[in-house]
């Protein structure tokens, strides 16, 4: 730079030009004379006729989406024989009426149990399950009765097995 003094003036001019360009861009960006954004017109969706969009079946099925209530007709015909009412097809081989069928017993649903895991006690070597039984949080061990119909039979890492009214029911962890 000492040898050529013109370079100093050239560099000063370059710095002034760059700073002028920066200041021009800032002032232009802050001014509110921007062109408004282009207006886009939204077209309304075309509504198609949905009644012609599908074919009806030839079978006479009831409409599954209607709110009409259909009552099923009772198809069992009863016969009267010897003063007793019997169902059709329930006669003994000799033509005498057979015994009336017994209604099936209604199964009681198993209790609502949520199995949250178990705790193992190394001193007694027993597993204690943490459960929520019909909304009550409790801990139970193997072979303990929860109520008069429910007994815990097995506790494992991922599932709890109980016996409810003589039937085995398995609950998984978190469920």
| Segments making up each domain of the chain, as ranges | 113-172
116 - beta bridge partners? Answer: none
84 - beta bridge partners? Answer: 81
Entry pTM: 0.41
Q: With 50 as the cut, is the pLDDT of residue 81 above it?
A: no
Dist. CA 36–CA 45, nearest whole Å: 27
Which CATH architecture best describes the domain 113-172?
Answer: Roll (2.30)
Q: With 70 as the cut, is the pLDDT of residue 71 above it?
A: no
């Amino acid at each position: 730079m000492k040898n050529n003094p013109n370079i100093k003036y050239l560099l000063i001019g370059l710095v002034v030009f760059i700073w002028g360009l920066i200041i021009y861009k800032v002032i232009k960006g802050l001014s509110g004379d921007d062109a408004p954004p282009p207006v886009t017109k939204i077209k309304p969706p075309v509504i198609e006729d949905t009644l012609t969009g599908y074919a009806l079946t030839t079978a006479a099925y009831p409409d599954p989406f209607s709110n009409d209530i259909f009552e099923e007709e009772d198809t069992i015909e009863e016969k009267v024989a010897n003063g007793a009412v019997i169902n059709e097809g329930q006669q003994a081989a000799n033509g005498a009426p057979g015994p009336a069928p017994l209604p099936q017993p209604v199964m009681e649903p198993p209790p609502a149990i949520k199995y949250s895991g178990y705790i193992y006690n190394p001193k007694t070597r027993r597993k204690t399950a943490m459960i929520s039984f019909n909304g009550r949080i409790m801990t139970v061990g193997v072979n303990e009765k929860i109520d008069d119909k429910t007994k815990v039979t097995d506790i494992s890492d991922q599932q709890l097995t109980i016996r409810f009214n003589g039937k085995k029911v398995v609950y998984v962890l978190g469920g």
